[in-house]
Amino acid sequence: MHKNLFSHINGTYEKDREQKRLAHRRVVLRIESEIAERLRKIQEIELQTSVEKEKMNKAVAELLNVHKVRQASVALNVWQPEIIRGRQRQMIQQSNVPVDFRINALQMELSLCKQQIAGFDKALRVEKRRLDEAKEQLGSVKYHPLQDFSSTSCQQNECRNRSKKLKHTSTVKFQVLFVLYSQIVS
């Protein structure tokens, strides 16, 4: 009777223990999955930021070229040697859109790129904060005081080496004491 009761209680205990272990494992896997998703989002945001920065650099380069065209059109009104005048006229003829319209469009594109980059930077900070929170949560879920105590106080191998040294030195001390005691007694 007692044997059956003990085996039944032990079996129930083992089932509960296994269920708790599996539930803990599911929580760990869910948090690890969340961390992987956060890392993927961070990479995606960084890629989008680099694309926007590239767009902005191209817009800045084009804006500089449009300003040169504008300066050339203004310079045509001033007397200059014919070689320089011909080069400036050629530069102006290459631009199909009026310069002022193109400058306005490029400035709007630049402000849009800056706004997009600011939004991506904010989203990146938020994702990094969430990633740190998820890592901290994973650390607290995986925390086990008995396992972490030994690893924080000293490394596993160091502890073993110290305990071996202590055992060795205590054995040597015991042998020395035994020899001294035996000499005193005899």
Please give the structure tokens belonging to residue 22.
């599996």
pTM higher than 0.85: no
Please give the structure tokens belonging to residue 47.
């890629």
40 Cβ contact list (under 8 Å, min separation 6) = none
Angle at 128 between CA 126 and CA 134, to 5 degrees: 105
pLDDT of residue 127: 96
pLDDT of residue 144: 72
pLDDT of residue 3: 65
In this structure, the dihedral spanned by the alpha carbons of residues 100, 105, 110 and 115, taken in order and rounded to 10 degrees, is 140
Q: How far apart are CA 119 and CA 6, in angstroms?
A: 63
Q: Enter the DSSP assignment of 154.
A: S
Nearest CA among 59, 181, 186, 31 for reference residue 115: 59
Q: How far apart are CA 116 and CA 1, in angstroms?
A: 75
User: How far is C-alpha 54 from the chain's CA centre?
Assistant: 23
pLDDT of residue 28: 93
Q: How far apart are CA 84 and CA 104, in angstroms?
A: 27
From first to last of its 186 residues, what are the pLDDT tens digits of the chain? 556 666 767 778 888 889 999 999 999 999 999 999 999 999 999 999 999 999 999 999 999 988 887 777 766 666 677 777 676 667 666 667 677 888 899 999 999 999 999 999 999 999 999 999 999 999 988 887 666 554 444 455 555 555 555 555 556 555 655 666 666 655
pLDDT of residue 98: 77
